[in-house]
Structure 1
């Protein structure tokens, strides 16, 4: 077992934020890269106080979940701070969510407030929300946010910031360190996503350990291209910058040229993001220059890519492992930078423990593959409405069962080698396999169905659907499947990207589909192509 000790830290996230220089730059919003919106820490504090007042006026109570679906714009940051300032719980969603996912999250969170953009990436959210309102009976207020200058207090943030704040009222609502702060839903491997709850203390602990491990300071500029509705963008982008009192550069839609603006014009020095972001900027004909550290997480990084990116970006590329439940557990060293920093998934972060065990729970020696388990002071506190899931995931010693297989070498470097959980890891996004399979089973003409990951150089895996047909004479195309997924309201990133038809799917003697056979079939076929 690998253990490391963390130094003490006494300041929680909201306390550290209050120490930031009010004149220093807090946010550069590149929604329109040619005309960025800039906000200082003083302005951020004022705006979030006003938005907090708006939420109080809507009747938001302490401990209540506030749901919002916003891209990486300044409004997301202000809204999150406003939620926390009144002791409520931030429940952000990814902008790609649609009519299946939004009612699920809002319903499980019992949120009375939903904040949405008027439009994002040419999609209008208003008609969608009107369509699904009957599926969200607890919802009382829908706030629609159109792009506005933050100085337009009457109209920005959907009017939430229009009123002068009662700061004494807001101060009385300041949360306890152990109060819930964040509710994020992970993709479920058994059909239902799990609501992961973190407190202000666990999130602050995660940030303190990260800052110590990477040597980050207020002089760094944090680039945030990862969606803030996901833990990577929220905790290790938005919150990390404010914990440091540093500037953050927000990118709401991915393209390399905006990334170049973030790095070369606005001085981004640090980013934590998934493999596709790294691959795209490293493979560009003119790789942007200026980054100091790129922490690549969410999916195993091909070591060839890591080596190439390190050379072409002229920055330290390091691997790492974390989860929504545990935050980051391991990271490659930037202080003693060497091949193991990027060839592996890093070493244990101070204050965390990690071990590899056999099926009986016995610790395995270095070099032996087994089940990867971790323990951390930044551990989530519960699964929403399902304490039994928490009890099943966290053992009596406080170790979380990651569901991954791993090897820890003699030097303490972690190498993820596989998974126990049935998931597809598409560029760091965990695809709810069973949910998609269940939908395919209901599609007319399909007799049997299985979703597997197929290798991909950019995303790690893409989604392949293997099916057998109830009528062998019928044809089935990928267009048929994606049209069906769209009609069912499934988020586009969950749609199969390839369909393979077999007379029958391979099964064990007990009837279980042999997915390892299917994964090998598609891997061999892609190589042949």
Structure 2
């Protein structure tokens, strides 16, 4: 594969000079810790359905990474070849990435929720050479789907199945033969070692706008974000990081897979989100840090509160992907005893802003944090002119961790000559330099020339006693241009209607123009793996309902 990461070379000299790019790869850190603390537990992977637990020390992890790397090389995988993985949070995910990084291959994580339509596009666009899947996960036959797809993908040479029962299984090809002991293993493991500016990860955007793009990252871009992130969270080698958010998403990949190896810390993986299982893991493994979206925090706080158990080792829960309702911060603090940190970021650059451990709790539900070192943010108007404090505008970011570009779609890179990336989000800055995301630029609701404060109204709807989840989307109106529709999920056994919503918002002194004028009740809100509501799907649903009613 030829990678067109055009955004890397122009930034190199300055990024190195300013100390943001350290010119290391994850191989360097893995080898360092395998030498310094070979018997320390590096990885614990827990499978919820089977109850199986697999552990690796740093020595064992380095050895298995070599084994899989040589196995991949024997399949013809070399420098810049793409290895796609549609895996849950299993140990094979972590080890396969480490293996790819040994031989210069590029890993392409794919969410396990994807099916034929999404996969056919991503595998073809990335020219993937190998696809690794589970035989069956959560009752779905991934092996059959992958085999069917392979027939229409001529560049996909190998489908490798974990738990397979033939010669194409992960175990037979990669995991069990002692490839690392073969006479040519050392040569295979060293001849294509990637440099810090080589593409190491290709990750497709999760699609809040409906258009996935292949985001290209290098070791320098990824690791330049993880270091200041870990410093801000005061994480080090003594920490235990729980990752239940999918590692096929940037949250899990950067902070559940890469960060523990960089720190010489211990990672604990959970493959299926089950709050009670998470509580047990936090207790048994003495977890000190985790990161996930708002729904994980809600579930974990409820599980701890309902069980009467405590999780005293958990110091920090970093929450990203959606605004955190104020009542949830209060509930989680009381139940977990952990600091709740708010963050905002993107596949294109990892975490951009964080609240800090010393911030008061109000910062976590009223803001999305302030920029990490190496990151700059600007809020501008339609003509790129800076806006004053408190004014909502387009959010631009310039970051040392910014991606190399979109694969084969450089015209969509959305970066100006000075390196400012247009995030597509609307935000405002407060007097202390903290940002608040107000919505996507395409999600703005303009009612009669008045911008409705979408995020603020949604935050209030979450406080309604009958509402479990809520989103605000626009629908067209001949007179006013747009009006607002509230799309909500009811709490079990509760009733909700438009008058009760209007009354609730009026009681909170919301302007009449901001109150939703339609209501749509759904069983769930469509969301990306990180928890971001896919409002384009809600708008499609509204149009479908309107056409059905018109018919």
Q: Normalised by the size of structure 2, how large is the TM-score? A: 0.74
Give CA-to-partner distance per residue, 1:356-415, whole Å, 9 cap, x none.
11111111121111111111000001101111111xx11121111111111110011111
Matches within 5 A, 1:274-289: 274-284=293-303, 285-286=306-307, 288-289=310-311
Q: Is 1:404 matched with 2:425?
A: yes
User: Do the aligned partners of 1:144 and 1:158 also contact (CA within 8 Å) in 2?
Assistant: no
State the Cα distance separating 1:236 from its structure 2 match: 1.5
User: Do the aligned partners of 1:263 and 1:288 also contact (CA within 8 Å) in 2?
Assistant: no
Q: Distance in 2 between matches of 1:118 and 1:221?
A: 30
State the Cα distance separating 1:502 from its structure 2 match: 5.2
Give CA-to-partner distance per residue, 1:62-104, whole Å, 9 cap, x none.
0111111111011111111111110010101011111111111
For residue 315 of structure 1, what is the aligned residue in structure 2?
Answer: 338
Q: Distance in 1 between matches of 2:113 and 2:547?
A: 34
Question: Which of the numbers 42, 48, 52 marks the counterpart of 1:26?
Answer: 42
Distance 1:336 1:300, change over 3 A: closer
For residue 91 of structure 1, what is the aligned residue in structure 2?
Answer: 108
Distance 1:374 1:99, change over 3 A: same
State the Cα distance separating 1:333 from its structure 2 match: 0.3
User: Do the aligned partners of 2:161 and 2:170 also contact (CA within 8 Å) in 1?
Assistant: no
User: Do the aligned partners of 2:289 and 2:314 also contact (CA within 8 Å) in 1?
Assistant: yes
For residue 329 of structure 1, what is the aligned residue in structure 2?
Answer: 352
- Once the two structures are overlaid, the 10-residue window that deviates more, 492-501 or 24-33, is 492-501
User: Do the aligned partners of 2:488 and 2:522 also contact (CA within 8 Å) in 1?
Assistant: no
Question: Which of the numbers 278, 291, 294 marks the counterpart of 1:272?
Answer: 291
Distance 1:323 1:158, change over 3 A: farther
Question: Which of the numbers 158, 162, 170 marks the counterpart of 1:141?
Answer: 158
Matches within 5 A, 1:311-390: 311-390=334-413
Distance 1:79 1:457, change over 3 A: farther
Distance 1:36 1:503, change over 3 A: closer
Distance 1:172 1:131, change over 3 A: closer
State the Cα distance separating 1:188 from its structure 2 match: 4.1
For residue 222 of structure 1, what is the aligned residue in structure 2?
Answer: 241
| Aligned-residue RMSD, C-alpha | 3.4
For residue 107 of structure 1, what is the aligned residue in structure 2?
Answer: 124
User: Do the aligned partners of 2:392 and 2:426 also contact (CA within 8 Å) in 1?
Assistant: yes
Q: Distance in 1 between matches of 2:169 and 2:207?
A: 38
Question: Which of the numbers 45, 53, 72 marks the counterpart of 1:55?
Answer: 72
State the Cα distance separating 1:177 from its structure 2 match: 0.7
For residue 292 of structure 1, what is the aligned residue in structure 2?
Answer: 315
State the Cα distance separating 1:36 from its structure 2 match: 1.6
User: Do the aligned partners of 1:30 and 1:258 also contact (CA within 8 Å) in 2?
Assistant: no
Distance 1:17 1:342, change over 3 A: farther
For residue 454 of structure 1, what is the aligned residue in structure 2?
Answer: 487
Q: Tell me, what secondary structure is at the counterpart of 1:340?
A: helix
Equivalences, count: 445
User: Do the aligned partners of 2:243 and 2:270 also contact (CA within 8 Å) in 1?
Assistant: yes
Q: Tell me, what secondary structure is at the counterpart of 1:100?
A: helix
Q: Tell me, what secondary structure is at the counterpart of 1:319?
A: strand
Distance 1:157 1:331, change over 3 A: farther
User: Do the aligned partners of 2:325 and 2:365 also contact (CA within 8 Å) in 1?
Assistant: no
For residue 206 of structure 2, what is the aligned residue in structure 1?
Answer: 187
Q: Distance in 1 between matches of 2:485 and 2:262?
A: 39
Question: Which of the numbers 15, 30, 36 marks the counterpart of 2:28?
Answer: 15
Q: Distance in 2 between matches of 1:214 and 1:12?
A: 22
State the Cα distance separating 1:497 from its structure 2 match: 12
Q: Distance in 2 between matches of 1:320 and 1:118?
A: 35
User: Do the aligned partners of 2:20 and 2:224 also contact (CA within 8 Å) in 1?
Assistant: no
Q: Distance in 1 between matches of 2:137 and 2:536?
A: 19
Gaps of 5+ in 2: 1-16, 445-453, 459-483, 492-520, 527-533
State the Cα distance separating 1:6 from its structure 2 match: 8.0
For residue 438 of structure 1, what is the aligned residue in structure 2?
Answer: none
Q: Distance in 1 between matches of 2:348 and 2:78?
A: 25
